[in-house]
Amino acid sequence: MIRLAVFASGRGTNFENILESRLPGIEIVLLVTDSICNALEIARTHDVPSKTFLRKNYASKEEMEQDMVTEIEKFHIDFIVLAGYMRLLSPPFVNRYPKRIINIHPSLLPLYKGKEAIRQAFEAGKKLYGVSVHYVNEGMDEGEVIAQVKISYDGEDLQELEQLVHQAEYALYPKVIAQVCNRGGRL
């Protein structure tokens, strides 16, 4: 059984979608958050242990991430999945787990990295949008792309576009997680 930790910062919709996908051979054993957020309630509902690391409680980011590593090791985690985790992980943390951390991003990378990617693309007048799943490296949304889904949208409603992008995320992410995790290996 592959043991997964999910990192989240907000509503937890991707986290909940992954949980409800019931991926064969994969068990979500830990939720890590960097804020008090709705993802914690989802973890409670699904009996998934959670741990919150608030940056303000640490003298440095390195100290916080060392506590995160301790927690990951305690749970014998095989892979880390970022699901709306809004904090950039440090190079030492990322390099500790090469090709063992994946992220989903609401754009066709390398376009529109960082926050508000859907809005950025929409305001640029694009008609082709998408979702990317990538390995996490030292840069922001710069890791090797594993999979992408393209979305054509010619409408004028940002909220409608956001819903289409989120639906694509919910369809793509569990499949890619299963594909990546079933290649095996422990952290």
Residues marked active site are found at 105
Instruction: Specify whether the CB–CB gap between 77 and 54 falls below 8 A.
Output: no
- Cβ within 8 Å of residue 4, ≥6 positions away: 26, 27, 28, 29, 30, 77, 78, 79, 80, 81, 177, 181
Instruction: Specify whether the CB–CB gap between 15 and 42 falls below 8 A.
Output: yes
Strands 145-152 and 128-135 come out as: antiparallel
